[in-house]
Amino acid sequence: MPADPKPEIASVWTRPRKQREQLSREQIVAEAVRLLDADGLEALSMRKLGTRLDAGATSLYRHVANKDELIELVVDEVYGELAVPTAQGAEDWREAAGRSAYSLRAMILRHPWVASVLGQVGLIHLGPNVTKMSERMAAVFRAAGFPADETELALSTVISYVIGMATSEAAYLSLIARSGRSEREFAESLRDGGTDGARGAHAGDPAKEREETFDYGLQRVLDGLQVRLGATAH
């Protein structure tokens, strides 16, 4: 007798959409993103989301099997916000990589919860936006001339830097939000209190200073990759 075929791995991306239902997957995902933006990852539950949608948790389970699947959907949703330019070749890869990095940083600052879940999303069930944007970013590094075995490594280096810096920024901004003060007021209070922290030591625009700090590190990362490109060309 022929062996039984292996069961397919269940995935939210292959599950048929329910037709003619009052509550759609798009509505669920949009509301989940709003909940996460407002209250953070710890606040996300199927019951709370159902309450916000004026629907029972059972209605949600018709579209997603569990919270993990919901997280896959919301991560893919916010990845769709990324703007990844096309690099024509080695002469403009750096600008394209930099603009992609800034777009990823902006997305994380809009949705600070996403940094903590990026590593939890399985590589098997990546959604269409994650897949498309990841491929577009990889294409920038291929256009730069990185060897095939280094393209993903170069991309991962930049992404790791962006996620690390943006996560730190998001935590800092969350602290400010809890204080009830503006970022400038918070920075001035640190300065007036004699704090030696980097952000409190400057009298300029604190948002601009954060951007300059991010850009300095990003440019040094790209400097290193540029040197590596030169080495691989010989």
CA 126/CA 70 separation, integer angstroms: 12
Helices (H), ranges, 62-182: 67-79, 93-110, 128-144, 148-179
> Tokens 């503006």 label which residue?
182
Where are the domains positioned within the chain? Answer: 25-79, 93-232
Architecture of domain 25-79 in this structure: Orthogonal Bundle (1.10)
93-232: CATH class: mainly alpha
Q: What are phi and psi of 210, to 5 degrees?
A: -65, -40
The string of pLDDT tens digits covering residues 150-188 is 999 999 999 999 999 999 999 898 889 888 889 988 888
H/E element holding 149? helix 148-179
CA 90 to chain centre: 26
CA 18/CA 88 separation, integer angstroms: 42
| 65 pLDDT above the threshold of 60 | yes
117 — pLDDT class (breaks 50, 70, 90): confident
Which of 60, 86, 83 lies closest to 73 in space, CA to CA? 60
The string of pLDDT tens digits covering residues 118-157 is 755 544 467 899 899 999 999 999 999 999 999 999 999 9
